[in-house]
Structure 1
């Protein structure tokens, strides 16, 4: 229990694996031979903030039995990991391990040389945790509980590579083994097997891209600490591993222990807070840009004879680029040297960083040299000068004008941006193909996680057209078309038939042309050819993939109006697109399964599906299809409910009329009976009114629902009944055994509800008794 909240005394059940001895002293003493297997907490108080205990209005027992521990006892194993819950997973891990790795042997502590068995346990535990979590609807992410999943996934991948010498993508391949092992007991694993594997695979591949570089960075930092006789890895180094390479702090701590080091956790937290504060400051500034150059600032550079920044190396990636510092800007003045806290802007002679323009987000990374490291968190261009905005890492020395530096772009991030930019071009082409030549680009944003495209069109794009647009882009990806770029004279570029450009955009001369599927040289050789109308050709200075297959997949997630005559599409590529498509298939499967349900179960399932569908990031056309399928289910449900209602009325009226006839035949002046129509209040009420109108007989009808253990009750007393016999006086006490409550009525009819239908016989007997005393 926590410091505050519901609590109570508890009892624990411990099991002595050895037996035939007094093991009392071993209880809760970390002895593996005497383990707790069951815990029961008798929740009866709420512990307030001041420590006082307030009795709870409702009390219950909170109990939990350890499944793995119970299994180890039943199978007579000394460890959970020796049971058939884990051994098949260990066997699969061994098949994926590198040469020389022995099978799992259960070693612990100092006996576990190289922590190989520990790695087996980590990987097996984590594939179980992640599979269950994803099957339940969660997935790895950047914040909160989702970041916990990302941390444990990366921990498992690290242990697999470093301790077990496993190959790339080994971790996601364990999903099949685990689902086969547990899927019969937990069917949600089988239902979501593809989704689980896809999400884990994408996360695994993403981390593997930086895993080796991160580990080399760690070893370099750790070796430096040991060479200097230290025992503590700095918080700044741990932060760089987290920020640049995606290493969770707990994983860094594990690696540090292997090196005989500890981590400066306090320093790491300080670096984290510093980064958060910088992010907050950046958000508080326009566009996240903390330093900008106005006309006076760029004019000063011109007067000094400083040429515009050569940014052509940005297309030569993934390469590091050597350059020279030409200007250092504080946001208000130029200085000759810089170091310490705060943001600065660096102008270099040349750069491989992409400055934000043409809708594409800026690059991030670092500029390094003998001075230390300058982290680049924004790149903008002003009058031809590329300004690298950022700050120095702690410990950096003085940076001076004329210093030689190395540009280190975060190419992993750019690898996410590039396919989004290329697919923006292909989307632009597809829109023209499907909607017509009137479509013009009105703006775009290309980010690592998505692309957004604004275009001219006077009405919403219908789902069928969205499907065609999405298909055209995916077909180009499937066709593995080359993506070509060439800088040519603006005049020559404008002559190319079908060339697309953004209206109002000012292009340089010469200009860069990007084409998909044909070399720019081919276009220049015959610029008037109608063939060029069937490919994407645009003026563009952005960074792109070299072949459409690198985009992997494209999913058009939404289409909306943002202004009169302007529409906006949001889309994703690569793993995000695949995930969106698989999620759509999963929802489709849920809808198909729901079609086999009936009544209340179907109604509940439809509500759940609709809620998830509205929030789901899936292809827009597919979402429209799925909404149509849900709508059909709702129509079928309405028809079924209407038909069932009519049948229930007929059934209830017949049962009530038969019972009334029997009562009259026996000279009984009232009727109490049960009708089997569940909680259909309309049917029960109609039956009561029929008997009152046609038989003139006081009547009380009960109907129950076994699944919910509830009951509905209607009573009717016709005008010809004795004046002292009131309907509520009859109904209210009669339904007390059902834990019922009565409601008001009119025209001699009243209704009630009961929450304990198991007491039906007692309630009906009481109703008969009360009526007999009043009427007989």
Structure 2
């Protein structure tokens, strides 16, 4: 059965994704995600397949169905990438969710019904669709209580839509809560462990994150501090130590989970991390019972953090490159550092030209290629501000000492000679975020867009690492598509397939507009298509003029050869060129006024692409 499931799901997903679908939490995308996760579970649990096995079936689907569904041949690699990404996310939680299900079943005793709230939490926390939970429950001779499942789902939807008690309203630390912690003598969270990771200088070096353990110093639930939280509750956990990064300075929060030391059945899924008054609050949902004073092991989602670090160091590189291209007037006005992209807002009088965007990308890649070491140091604010070339949002208030991050040059060296021009040739910034150890670890770098968000404020969205690599692969696919069209147009000397070429050009132009590829490359491809369309139009006009000339000459010869004929019927090879036929009729009128004529032409392209042959005739009659 597992083989059939994988074969059927591989066909379904390949065709759906090639047709523009995408796995999501809502609507049609939710169906695709459920299909994909069911297939992944069968591959890993039933067939003991390694990660990536299911995506490998895409090539087989393309080979067997490509002639029937040509869409799947366009970009199979993007389908493979999407499936692999979804599989990676699901496998992170598959074992944890399965363990929760097994523990719950063990506690049910003789009951044959799995509580619906457990089924909902399996979906909401671990990504298990209810049909997958039903399948796993049936394997243990259980049924899911779908009534309570729907109730739990509706309650969660009410909360997310603001019609219930929102999690931020019930667990956030307001000024009174912070004062309460301070009055109890509880010190702020020590989050220095977020910087505890290492990597070699090699371009493909793996990052090793140091394990971290903390003690629960506070639990926040329902607008108050409590001594314990129990399964299913959305709450906040405060720890004395943490390696999780709280959202600040443009960098998004970390995700992961906490496990109680000595009891793996108690797990807290971290979905958000914020800092208030120096206290780091981990926001999420608890399974089991967690009490104040318990020790927990912190499990950071390291692959997600690695992507965030990629984009944060990439943001500094971009800031440096903008100064090179636009000048010092390009001051930072905001930023977002997420796992899948970076966003950088800056001041500029007008839009950047395509050439400037390309130069900015090239300067960024040049700095990355140097593979300079990334240095970070706490420095005196006054000394740090005097460093030549230092970039910062100077409207903001920075602490003293302030953390300085530089690429390629030790901060101590910059402090020793702050007026040296060396700081102008690299990236030097105030920053408390997490970064790579070497700039070369960023990998590929792509500027995906440049646009206005306010008067005098521009926004660049850029990609690094795997996302940039995908954009470059997509660019290669589009370029190959363009080259095929160019070859086809060049070989069509007589414009016999001009309608087909025009349709292909329009389709590719639309595909390029939707694609996430380098911004300057998108403009370049559009211009090539625009020029190709113009060239095709010019060639078609020239071909029509040649046909018209030939038809007129043929008409003269025809009339002269049939001077005494009263009715003249003839088919010209004019490809439905009505102007050519009209000119031919004028020759009849001029050379033989008493002759009635009917001239016909046939359009082979219309015959190929339309249904009714009668619509393909172009008749011009003179009587």
Is residue 496–residue 528 contact of structure 1 (8 Å, CA) maintained in 2? Answer: yes
CA distance in structure 2 between the partners assigned to 1:368 and 1:519 by the alignment: 38
Structure-2 change in CA distance of 1:243 and 1:327 (3 Å): closer
Post-superposition Cα deviations, 1:54-83, rounded to whole Å, max 9, x if no partner, equal: xxxxxxxxxxxxxxxxxxxxxxxxxxxxxx
Report the counterpart of residue 215 of structure 1 in structure 2: 95
Structure-2 change in CA distance of 1:276 and 1:581 (3 Å): farther
Matched, 1:278 2:159: yes
Structure-2 change in CA distance of 1:318 and 1:571 (3 Å): farther
Matched, 1:755 2:615: yes
Match of 1:703 among 577, 580, 601: 601
Is residue 237–residue 283 contact of structure 2 (8 Å, CA) maintained in 1? Answer: yes
Is residue 366–residue 376 contact of structure 1 (8 Å, CA) maintained in 2? Answer: yes
| Number of aligned positions between the proteins | 596
Report the counterpart of residue 323 of structure 1 in structure 2: 215
Is residue 195–residue 583 contact of structure 1 (8 Å, CA) maintained in 2? Answer: yes
Is residue 369–residue 440 contact of structure 2 (8 Å, CA) maintained in 1? Answer: yes
Is residue 282–residue 288 contact of structure 1 (8 Å, CA) maintained in 2? Answer: no
Give how far 1:311 is off: 3.3
Give how far 1:599 is off: 0.8
Structure-2 change in CA distance of 1:688 and 1:320 (3 Å): farther
Report the counterpart of residue 136 of structure 2 in structure 1: 255
Post-superposition Cα deviations, 1:33-61, rounded to whole Å, max 9, x if no partner, equal: xxxxxxxxxxxxxxxxxxxxxxxxxxxxx
CA distance in structure 1 between the partners assigned to 2:439 and 2:126 by the alignment: 27
Match of 1:679 among 571, 576, 601: 576
Give how far 1:275 is off: 3.5
CA distance in structure 1 between the partners assigned to 2:597 and 2:449 by the alignment: 58
Report the counterpart of residue 531 of structure 2 in structure 1: 632
Is residue 34–residue 129 contact of structure 2 (8 Å, CA) maintained in 1? Answer: yes
Is residue 380–residue 401 contact of structure 2 (8 Å, CA) maintained in 1? Answer: yes
Report the counterpart of residue 246 of structure 2 in structure 1: 355
Give how far 1:172 is off: 3.6
CA distance in structure 2 between the partners assigned to 1:506 and 1:568 by the alignment: 23
Task: Provide the secondary structure at the position in 2 that maps to 1:465.
Answer: helix
Is residue 159–residue 165 contact of structure 2 (8 Å, CA) maintained in 1? Answer: no
Task: Provide the secondary structure at the position in 2 that maps to 1:571.
Answer: strand
Give how far 1:438 is off: 3.2
CA distance in structure 1 between the partners assigned to 2:121 and 2:440 by the alignment: 32
Matched, 1:642 2:541: yes
Q: How does 1:30-49 map to 2 (within 5 A)?
A: none
Task: Provide the secondary structure at the position in 1 that maps to 2:215.
Answer: strand
Post-superposition Cα deviations, 1:466-508, rounded to whole Å, max 9, x if no partner, equal: 2333234345555555434333333343344432211211111
CA distance in structure 1 between the partners assigned to 2:164 and 2:347 by the alignment: 30
Report the counterpart of residue 428 of structure 1 in structure 2: 319
Q: How does 1:8-27 map to 2 (within 5 A)?
A: none
Q: How does 1:390-405 map to 2 (within 5 A)?
A: none
Report the counterpart of residue 539 of structure 1 in structure 2: 430
Give how far 1:602 is off: 0.8
CA distance in structure 2 between the partners assigned to 1:472 and 1:579 by the alignment: 21
CA distance in structure 1 between the partners assigned to 2:125 and 2:62 by the alignment: 34
Is residue 330–residue 345 contact of structure 1 (8 Å, CA) maintained in 2? Answer: no
CA distance in structure 2 between the partners assigned to 1:256 and 1:623 by the alignment: 49
Task: Provide the secondary structure at the position in 1 that maps to 2:451.
Answer: strand
Task: Provide the secondary structure at the position in 1 that maps to 2:468.
Answer: helix
Is residue 212–residue 242 contact of structure 2 (8 Å, CA) maintained in 1? Answer: no
Report the counterpart of residue 653 of structure 1 in structure 2: 552
Task: Provide the secondary structure at the position in 1 that maps to 2:377.
Answer: strand
Matched, 1:553 2:444: yes
Report the counterpart of residue 587 of structure 1 in structure 2: 478
Post-superposition Cα deviations, 1:303-352, rounded to whole Å, max 9, x if no partner, equal: 66654444334434574542334474866xx5556869997666655544
Give how far 1:633 is off: 0.8
Is residue 603–residue 616 contact of structure 2 (8 Å, CA) maintained in 1? Answer: no
Post-superposition Cα deviations, 1:243-297, rounded to whole Å, max 9, x if no partner, equal: 4444444334333344444444444444444433333229999x98887666676
CA distance in structure 2 between the partners assigned to 1:282 and 1:185 by the alignment: 49
Report the counterpart of residue 437 of structure 1 in structure 2: 328
Give how far 1:543 is off: 2.6
CA distance in structure 2 between the partners assigned to 1:483 and 1:315 by the alignment: 13
Matched, 1:154 2:27: no
- Asked which structure has the greater CA Rg, the reply is 1
CA distance in structure 1 between the partners assigned to 2:442 and 2:169 by the alignment: 29
Listed as ranges, the gaps of 5+ residues in structure 1 are 1-117, 712-737, 741-753, 772-776
CA distance in structure 2 between the partners assigned to 1:253 and 1:550 by the alignment: 43
Is residue 216–residue 291 contact of structure 2 (8 Å, CA) maintained in 1? Answer: no
Q: How does 1:656-667 map to 2 (within 5 A)?
A: 656-662=555-561, 665-667=563-565
Report the counterpart of residue 123 of structure 1 in structure 2: 6
Structure-2 change in CA distance of 1:200 and 1:342 (3 Å): closer
Give how far 1:575 is off: 2.9
Is residue 361–residue 445 contact of structure 1 (8 Å, CA) maintained in 2? Answer: yes
Task: Provide the secondary structure at the position in 2 that maps to 1:281.
Answer: coil
Structure-2 change in CA distance of 1:420 and 1:653 (3 Å): same
Structure-2 change in CA distance of 1:482 and 1:163 (3 Å): farther
Report the counterpart of residue 23 of structure 1 in structure 2: none
Task: Provide the secondary structure at the position in 2 that maps to 1:611.
Answer: helix
CA distance in structure 2 between the partners assigned to 1:428 and 1:284 by the alignment: 41
Report the counterpart of residue 47 of structure 2 in structure 1: 164
Task: Provide the secondary structure at the position in 2 that maps to 1:561.
Answer: strand
Is residue 325–residue 405 contact of structure 1 (8 Å, CA) maintained in 2? Answer: no
Is residue 452–residue 458 contact of structure 2 (8 Å, CA) maintained in 1? Answer: yes
Give how far 1:453 is off: 0.4
- Tell me the TM-score normalised to structure 1 length: 0.66
CA RMSD of aligned residues (A): 4.2
Structure-2 change in CA distance of 1:446 and 1:671 (3 Å): same
Is residue 334–residue 345 contact of structure 2 (8 Å, CA) maintained in 1? Answer: yes
Structure-2 change in CA distance of 1:503 and 1:144 (3 Å): same
Give how far 1:452 is off: 0.9
Structure-2 change in CA distance of 1:608 and 1:177 (3 Å): closer
CA distance in structure 2 between the partners assigned to 1:690 and 1:299 by the alignment: 100
Listed as ranges, the gaps of 5+ residues in structure 2 are 197-208, 490-496
Structure-2 change in CA distance of 1:251 and 1:167 (3 Å): same
Give how far 1:688 is off: 3.5
Structure-2 change in CA distance of 1:184 and 1:346 (3 Å): closer
Is residue 171–residue 220 contact of structure 2 (8 Å, CA) maintained in 1? Answer: no
